[in-house]
Amino acid sequence: MKAYDGMYIDGAWRPAAGDERIEVVNPADEQVIATVPAGTAQDVDEAVRAARAAFPGWAATAPAERAARITALRDALAARREEIAGTVSAELGAPPAFSRAVHADLPVAVAGSYAELLGSHEFEEKIGNSTVFHEPVGVVGAITPWNYPLHQIVAKAAPAFAAGCTVVLKPAEDTPLVARLFAEAVHEAGFPAGVFNLVTGRGPVAGQALAGHEGVDLVSFTGSTAVGRQIAATAGAAVKRVALELGGKSANVILPGADLAKAVNVGIANVFSNAGQTCSAWTRMLVHTEQYDEAVALAATAAAKYVPGGDRLGPVVSARQRDRVRGYIRRGIEEGARLVAGGPDAPEGRSTGYYIRPTVFADVTPGMTIAQEEIFGPVICVIRYEDEADALRIANGTVYGLAGAVWAADEATATAFARRMDTGQVDINGGRFNPLAPFGGYKDSGIGRELGAHGLTEYLHTKSLQF
Ligand code: NAD
């Protein structure tokens, strides 16, 4: 076990203000692997002061200088690929191959995309007799979750740096170690002191202090809807900008004429990767009544390939999350859904570790709790629909609207359906993830967009001068 010290503030690791510590647990074996300091309001205050002091200088740099630093950051992250993947596997529980391909490589791609974007992004435009300037918002308070721990950090920090903002990060308490690696990479990349600051700590203490700090101009939060609401209320009272990326309950709509086997197999992989801890996962599979039984059988077969502790399915992040997911599985059974794979008990031979049996529910009706609430584990609901109108009603029938998928015989049919979905992103016939496309939600899934040029805009103010 390693005891890490210090917060990264003003370009150096300095001692934490308090003595409290957070234990980091490996969810695969339930062992404490490290401890980090639990930050207090005082640590947050020092970090915000450093970020404020660094802001004018960083905001005044040329885009090419910011691009050079972000490129160096990308390279520093790429050089740490194995260390990052190993760290995420240890603190989150993701299988090694997934940690490398997604947890380590996606942030490198996202950082690189912002370095590139700076080569062409216009921070100035002419509108009639006005010149409009796009200026950095100021100090960003970034509060991130544990499910894609490095990606969530980079999806906030990289566009903030690109815009000319400075950042104070409060990462999730379950996954602080990869956040420390990020701080090391920022340091190595040669950013001026104070442009990036890290305070590890608990949500209700360090997180709340950061969200409510008067020196923070924008709070960017990813996590649960309940905490997001609270942060938006705090930010609202202070008339502060806020970006929220919250939960989801996305629909995978399989229309008649689609390649059913492909749609089901990709759909299962989408939900079960990262042990189901993906906000944009297509956790509701919507199938036409005539293909329903076939789809359920295909889903059960596909689920059997996910063996807890095997190379595709790790544990969930914590005992709390395991209990929460198992609670939902029990609730589904109580409400009358039919279990065709998995269940609430520990997987065979896995009494240690926070493992969940990959679970497929059939005969799920749209009003059931498991069809409405975000479960955040390897659990999928297969829901029957009668016709397209019914499918659309079900797809749009939750408080969320983050992502989704539509499969049809042709793109035009799928596109027409997707355009009527109340959701921020839809993959058509298996269209692949695009790290430049705006990512974010409708309804309770959030406010604002991350990634690409839209993600950069979140961190910019608009000023117009008339001539
Ligand atoms: P959470 O919302 O409590 O935590 C997310 C981040 O917010 C963490 O850094 C946490 O420390 C911080 N936080 C918590 N309370 C805070 C407060 N009062 N003020 C400021 N910051 C605070 O999420 P969780 O408890 O880790 O997970 C619970 C559920 O949230 C999950 O089961 C899942 O449904 C959902 N979730 C969604 C996402 C997503 O990507 N949208 C990510 C993680 C969790």
Q: Which residue's CA is the nearest one to ligand 1's atom 37? A: 223
Report CA(225)–ligand 1 centroid distance (Å). Answer: 8
**Sorting pLDDT into bands at 50, 70 and 90, what band is 22?**
very high
Q: Which residue's CA is the nearest one to ligand 1's atom 9? A: 172
Six-digit token string for 174: 């379950």
Which residues are tagged catalytic?
245, 279
**Sorting pLDDT into bands at 50, 70 and 90, what band is 297?**
very high
Report CA(121)–ligand 1 centroid distance (Å). Answer: 32
The answer to whether 260 and 254 are in contact (CB under 8 A) is yes
Which residues, including other chains, have CB under 8 Å from residue 28's CB and lie 6 or more apart? 93, 309, 314, 315, 353
Q: Which residue's CA is the nearest one to ligand 1's atom 26? A: 145
Atom number of ligand 1 nearest to Cα 174: 26
How much is the mean pLDDT over the chain?
Answer: 98
| 107-123 tens-digit pLDDT | 999 999 999 999 999 99
Provide the pLDDT for residue 90.
Answer: 98
Report CA(171)–ligand 1 centroid distance (Å). Answer: 10
Strand order in the sheet with 460-466: 124-127, 130-136, 460-466
Mutating to test ligand 1, I would choose from 103, 178, 227, 280 the residue with most ligand atoms within 8 A of its C-beta, which is 227
Q: Which residue's CA is the nearest one to ligand 1's atom 40? A: 279
Q: Which residue's CA is the nearest one to ligand 1's atom 27? A: 224
Closest C-alpha to 174, from 74, 325, 322, 313: 322
| 121-137 tens-digit pLDDT | 999 999 999 999 999 99
| 71-94 tens-digit pLDDT | 999 999 999 999 999 999 999 999
Atom number of ligand 1 nearest to Cα 245: 41
**Sorting pLDDT into bands at 50, 70 and 90, what band is 313?**
very high
Q: Which residue's CA is the nearest one to ligand 1's atom 12? A: 203
Provide the pLDDT for residue 287.
Answer: 98
Question: Tokens 């690929």 identify what position?
Answer: 81
Atom number of ligand 1 nearest to Cα 173: 11
Report CA(223)–ligand 1 centroid distance (Å). Answer: 4
Question: Tokens 């566009």 identify what position?
Answer: 159
Atom number of ligand 1 nearest to Cα 375: 34
Mean pLDDT of 169-176: 98
**Sorting pLDDT into bands at 50, 70 and 90, what band is 56?**
very high
Report CA(172)–ligand 1 centroid distance (Å). Answer: 7
Atom number of ligand 1 nearest to Cα 317: 26
The answer to whether 389 and 366 are in contact (CB under 8 A) is no
| 214-251 tens-digit pLDDT | 999 999 999 999 999 999 999 999 999 999 999 999 99
Chain-centre distance for alpha carbon 372: 20
Provide the pLDDT for residue 352.
Answer: 97
N-to-C CA span, the chain: 64
Chain-centre distance for alpha carbon 159: 15
Atom number of ligand 1 nearest to Cα 446: 41
What does pTM read for this prediction? 0.98
**Sorting pLDDT into bands at 50, 70 and 90, what band is 453?**
very high
Give the E-state strand segments of 398-457 in sequence order.
Answer: 404-407, 427-428, 446-447
Question: Tokens 């970006």 identify what position?
Answer: 243
Report CA(376)–ligand 1 centroid distance (Å). Answer: 12
Provide the pLDDT for residue 365.
Answer: 98
- Residues near ligand 1 (Cβ within 6 A): 143-147, 170, 172-173, 202-204, 207-208, 211, 222-224, 227, 230-231, 245-247, 279, 324, 374, 376
The answer to whether 317 and 92 are in contact (CB under 8 A) is yes
Report CA(183)–ligand 1 centroid distance (Å). Answer: 21
Provide the pLDDT for residue 335.
Answer: 98
Query: What is the Cα–Cα distance from 37 to 173, expressed in whole angstroms?
Result: 10
Question: What's 22's DSSP letter?
Answer: E
| 318-365 tens-digit pLDDT | 999 999 999 999 999 999 999 999 999 999 999 999 999 999 999 999
Mutating to test ligand 1, I would choose from 36, 106, 143 the residue with most ligand atoms within 8 A of its C-beta, which is 143
Provide the pLDDT for residue 89.
Answer: 98
Residue 45 half-sphere exposure toward CB, CA atoms < 13 A: 4
| 396-426 tens-digit pLDDT | 999 999 999 999 999 999 999 999 999 999 9
Residues 224, 147, 151, 299, CA torsion sign: negative
